[in-house]
Structure 1
């Protein structure tokens, strides 16, 4: 899904959640709803019996999912676009690998529920009503999407709880800082459409290759750190950079950066920042939408060489 589609989905989801809850009749989950949604018949652990391992219960106006707790062999579950707030029935589904609960009414992660889901690898809870992440653990989680919630702080993202997490999406929340993500194995971090004014704690993200910070409130890039020795893609489009001095910290990650997006900042209309950025990052391959040409690269190397000669 492209960036614009993700943005639209988050915004539309938030609008839908603000609708009058009484306008839509809700109902509890029962066998009549579950059975038509089951698929993928597979052998169970001992190989002598069979069970359905996938259930899709999207758009059912569900108010709870207590009845699902009896289907202990489920591995794939989609209950998106309902009115569910209680996650505790999930604790008995210890074989879950994949769970999608977008567009529900979840406000928090109940204690011990996710500690039972030791095989869960993919979780999406975009556009709910989450304000904190405490209570969520994921020893096997590789991808986590919490976009479009109301999260204001990132306490809880510790490497001991999410040792395999490679992708974390927190677009469209209410974060003001990047501090609180202690995940040295994380590779992709999406923080667009927040209220972030400062970059903090990034030195812990040693494996990060992609950092997405579009539509925030950043006034500079202070906080980028040389420990980020894998960073290749940085998107800081639509922030509050006023002049080239706001970009100096790019030099700290210049060895690996290959793509930088800076368009739609205030400096975009006042200065040609392209030569300055290419001087900071001589190996850059693309700046905004334009690839770096061989001619540009040659001019940058020439300028750097001349500067070194002048300064001795």
Structure 2
């Protein structure tokens, strides 16, 4: 698998987008907007009545969504690409399973309604104006997408608040460290396009299978832990790895690793690091975009054995 995707947002572009957003005419939500977006007619809890459980309200120039609070049977809600900052009207939508709020202007979770959404399993709030995660609680959340915000620190990511979370996306934020993620059940973590210099606190991620760190500022991979007993894929493409010695900590997860992506680091082109990585991780199946052939593996271990005999 290849997890390289996503796009960069330059500060100038971000500022221009903010200015364009503020110049956009906004309007409050009303039934004339809601009704055309309704779909999926289902029976309600008592089985005697029917109600629509899905509504799509994206690209409506909405700023006030108070009217949505009357639709208490909704399970799927998309309000992406609007001008919404206040999500408290969601307080009454206690049946929500899926919520998309991408490309709005939400700045924080404090005072929002997420603690009431006890069945919410999937939440995406990419491209808002979040600076932290304080106040967010998701007892049933399985996937949380907060890419392209302004998050600098990770607080509140505790297992008692997110016991079922398996996928966390924080691409394109302003993180400098991985410290603060205490989620033993997390399986996939996407941190590309941040400013991460240090891997910290990863020993708590015992179930993690995928770690994506493309385009950060790592000079080594110290911080990888033998407690990460399930890690199969790690992407550290486009960082600041200078030489092979900076990669020795990959040995802590060598028993499970199957794919490593290292291209576009300073060591790329200056040295052939494939033999070293194959020696470090004997069961590796792919390095960068090239699979490990039986012939390559045999040649590396032949060389290793010859060196041992010489010693």
TM-score, normalized by the shorter chain, greater than 0.5: yes
TM-score normalized by the length of structure 2: 0.95
Whole-angstrom distance in 1 between the partners of 2:168 and 2:109: 17
Alignment partner, residue 36 of structure 2: 36
Distance across 1 between alignment mates of 2:73 and 2:10 = 31
> Would the aligned equivalents of 2:87 and 2:112 in 1 still touch at CA under 8 Å?
no
Q: Which residue of 1 aligns with 2:250?
A: 250
Q: Secondary structure at the match of 1:68?
A: helix
Question: In the aligned structure 2, how far is the partner of 1:228 from the partner of 1:76?
Answer: 34
**Is 1:142 the equivalent of 2:133?**
no
Distance 1:208 1:4 in 2: 18
- CA gap of 1:230–1:32, structure 2 versus 1, over 3 A, is same
- Give the match for residue 237 of structure 2: 237
Once residues 106 and 13 of structure 1 are traced to their aligned partners in structure 2, the CA distance between those partners, rounded to angstroms, is 19
Contact 1:13/1:103 (8 A) holds in 2: no
Q: Report the Cα distance in structure 2 between the residues aligned to 1:71 and 1:197, rounded to whole angstroms.
A: 45
Residue equivalent to 1:218: 218
Q: Equivalent residue for 1:108?
A: 108
Shifted more, 2-11 versus 197-206: the winner is 2-11
Match of 2:7 in 1: 7
Report 1:1-312 matches (<5 A).
Answer: 6-7=6-7, 14=14, 17-111=17-111, 113-306=113-306
> Contact (CA 8 Å) 1:219, 1:246: kept in 2 or not?
yes
SS state of the match for residue 32, structure 1?
helix
Structure 1 length-normalised TM: 0.95
Q: Contact 2:8 / 2:172 at 8 angstroms: preserved in 1?
A: no
Contact 1:10 1:126 in 2 (8 A): no
Aligned residues: 310
**1:101-125 CA deviation, whole Å, 9 max, x = no partner?**
0000000113362111010000000
Q: Which segments of 5 or more consecutive residues in structure 1 lack a partner in the other structure?
A: none
Measure the CA separation in 1 of the matches of 2:16 and 2:73.
33
CA distance in 2, matches of 1:153, 1:9: 19
Give the direction of change, closer, same or farther, for the CA distance of 1:168–1:159 in structure 2 (3 Å limit).
same
